[in-house]
Amino acid sequence: MEVNQRFDKIRKILILRIDGIGDVLNSTPAISALHKTYPKAKITVIVKPHGAEILYRNLDIDEIIVYDPNNQHKGLIDKINFFKKLRSGGYDTAVVLNNSSMSNFMAYVSGAKIRAGRRSEPKRFSHTLTHWVSNKDPKGTKHEVDRNLDIVRLLNIDNNASDLVLNLSEDEKADADDFLRLNKNDGSCLMGIHPGGSSFDKLWSPENFAEIADRLIDEFNARVILFTGPGEENLAQNILTKVKNPLIFASGIKLRQFSALVERCSLFVCNDSGPMHIASALKVPTVAIFGPTDYVRWRPRNENAVVVRKDMDCWPCSAHKCKRSYECTKILPVSQIWKAIVELTSKAFMC
């Protein structure tokens, strides 16, 4: 839908991005573009708790509202009270950056006269949007950052920011240094691995991650930090029992401490995951292992990042209906990842 008018009266913008870490980070360029185009407008963002941690200290945002459907806003009464508070916010513009029925409904409930997003079926309430783009971008054609910018372009933004935004304080960086000192990092080159991900189909084998960790230590004289998140403890223990060399183990830490430690790494090896996008935002050289996910849409937005994947005739696919046992992820050889590491470190090595 073409929009030719100038939205000079925009004063309060509500942005809805109620989904994962990577989704939130890939929205930050669109948020930056809105802030630069409408510098006098107050920008409020609704996110889940982990999204609030990611956006903390983001100077393009005036207010963060946490929506927690699993705890604080689980019940019907809690949701109704949340919607009432939302309605009282006085927003004139709502921007839906994740294509969900709940976000479309929140935009409508907010009372904003301008409601921009993606129109698609069968997503309920998408018909309530006043300005929209189609949700029919074919797989393998467009990055998520650009998909988000497509939406805010409906509001005539005059800035095409592309960098992800994740701001860390000096205190957070100092805490990361303290963690490393306590874990006997002797100043050697620090490299990180994260073997987790949001679903089974994205996970490269722990045996392979263990082999990569040992090779990084043996061939680069590096200290390797093993990162794990909630629910990934067994995966980490599996790796720890297989490596020959000692690793620094970062488990049970908060998301921003996680981010500050990732920033200290000269190389980050990971699956397609939220931490991959954290490394991308912090411009850490990254080797990202992709399976059936749309790598064009979700690849790390970082010039010092390499995507490693197995090119198969069944891609693009619907991963959860895989009939080939996730072959693209599960049999990706160590040699292919190691080749990418060597090539990347030859041009972006910062130890």
- Give the pLDDT confidence of 297-344 residue by residue, as tens digits: 999 999 999 999 988 877 777 566 777 777 787 889 999 999 999 999
More confident residue, 247 or 138: 247
- State the Cα–Cα distance between residues 164 and 300, nearest whole angstrom: 10
Examine residue 124 and state whether it is found in any structural domain, yes or no: yes
The domain boundary, picked from 106, 125, 155, lies at 155
Type of residue numbered 206: P
- pLDDT tens-place string over residues 47-103: 999 999 999 999 999 999 999 988 899 899 999 999 999 999 999 999 999 989 999
pLDDT at res. 6: 55
Q: Are residues 30 and 175 in the same domain?
A: no
Q: Look up the domain containing 253 and give its range.
A: 170-348
Examine residue 330 and state whether it is found in any structural domain, yes or no: yes
The tokens describing 226, both together, are: 């093993």
Beta strands in 114-271 (DSSP E): 114-119, 131-134, 190-194, 223-227, 248-250, 267-271
Compute the chain's Rg from CA coordinates: 21
The domain boundary, picked from 129, 155, 181, lies at 155
Q: Are residues 105 and 76 in the same domain?
A: yes
- State the Cα–Cα distance between residues 173 and 287, nearest whole angstrom: 23
Examine residue 2 and state whether it is found in any structural domain, yes or no: no
Residue at token pair 């790390």? 300
Q: Are 109 and 67 in contact (CB under 8 A)?
A: no
Number of folded domains that form the chain: 2
* Element spanning 206, H or E: helix 206-220
Q: Are residues 185 and 291 in the same domain?
A: yes
Bridge partners of 224, per DSSP, are: 191
Residues 6+ apart with CB under 8 A from 111: 87, 90, 91
Q: What is the mean pLDDT of residues 185-214?
A: 89
Q: Are residues 48 and 136 in the same domain?
A: yes
Q: Are residues 248 and 332 in the same domain?
A: yes
Whichever domain contains 26, its CATH number is: 3.40.50.2000
CA dihedral 83, 84, 87, 88 (to 10 degrees): -140
pLDDT at res. 3: 40
Examine residue 1 and state whether it is found in any structural domain, yes or no: no
* Element spanning 180, H or E: helix 170-182
Phi then psi dihedrals of residue 267, to 5 deg = -155, 140
The tokens describing 186, both together, are: 């002797």
